[in-house]
Every structure is written in structure tokens, then in C-alpha cells.
Structure 1
Amino acid sequence: MTLEQFTRNEGQVARRYEYDDGAVLVVDFGTGVADASVDLVDDTVIVIVDDEQYEFELPEGASDAHTFIKNGVLTVELEGDL
């Protein structure tokens, strides 16, 4: 999973936090986001922000993932041996 695809727009911040039992990916699309949604289909995270769509595969070893987006901030919580 690459964070570079989320930082194409200037001022957009993406971070990955590693923990013993998993990882968390956070992308701040900004407060100006009018319409945003996230869905998890099999091992693919699909993010739609305004008219742009982003897709990425969960990393090897991810046994479970939880996704949500609120106030323009996408959070993907990954569990497993990453």
C-alpha cells in the first residue's frame, strides 16, 4: 500500500502508524471535502472523494481491516502480521 497516491494534492497529509498487532493508515483530505465514502471489497479498499476514486490492496498479512471516513479524514485500521 503506498501513501504517495494520496498525497498528489498539495496540503494533503497521509501517515502510516505501525503497531505490534497491526497498522493504521490515515489520510486527511481536508475539511473542504463535500462528498466522501470508503468501502472494503474483499482485499481492496475503495475510496471516493468528490469525483476522484482511489483503490488499493490490503498488504500481505492483513487478517482484518476496518475502514471509515469522517470530516474528510480516512482511517484504515489493519490487524495481523504486517
Structure 2
Amino acid sequence: MNVPESLRNADRHGAIVRTVEYDDTSVIAVDFGSEAGDASIDIVGDTAIIVTDGEQFEFELPPEASDVSANNGVLTITE
């Protein structure tokens, strides 16, 4: 699963973006850091909107994404 374009640039804002491949699944994790607090996520159609610490990121969900969640400033997209 490829990291959406807008999230590839999140590291400019201090976020850490990682992709982990397992035998049967892929996970993209974006850690916005402890200063970000709780990130909120809204899904509108095929678009995810992340708001954290005054920053907003919008991106098209990868077609293979089966779960999108945010917890403690970490966004997780699972295939």
C-alpha cells in the first residue's frame, strides 16, 4: 500500500511516516507527535480529513484501505 501524497509531506510538520509490510497486510502509521494531542479523523466518501494541533490534512484513501483510525496522535491506515 502506498502512502498518500499529502501524507508523504507530513514530515515537514514534524510527523513521522512509516509503512510496515506483514505477510498478509500493510500498515501506514503517521505519528504526529505528543504535541499533536488527539488527532480527529473524518471520512467523507473516499477522502479522509485529519485535524491535529491546528493542522489539517486531506487525502484520498488508498483503494485497498480496510481500516483508518487515530489514537493518541497516531493515524493508522490498514490494508
* TM-score tier after normalising by the smaller chain length: 0.7 to 0.9
Root-mean-square deviation (CA, aligned residues, Å) is: 2.0
Structure having the higher Rg: 1
Q: CA deviation at 1:26?
A: 0.3
State the TM-score, normalized to the length of structure 1: 0.72
- Once the two structures are aligned, what percentage of the paired residues are identical? 44
Query: CA 1:40–1:29 in structure 2 vs 1: closer, same or farther (change >3 Å)?
Result: same
In structure 1, C-alpha distance between the alignment counterparts of 2:12 and 2:70, rounded to whole Å: 19
| Alpha-carbon shift at residue 35 of structure 1 (Å) | 4.4
Q: Secondary structure of 2:13's match?
A: coil
Structure 1 unaligned residues grouped into runs of 5+: none
- What TM-score do you get using the length of structure 2 for normalisation? 0.74
Residues 41, 23 of structure 1: alpha-carbon distance in 2 compared, 3 angstrom cutoff: farther
Deviation by residue 1:6-53 (Cα, 9 ceiling, x = unmatched): 11124x210122345442110011111234201222211111112111
Check conservation: 2:37, 2:72, Cα contact below 8 A. no
Count of paired positions: 75
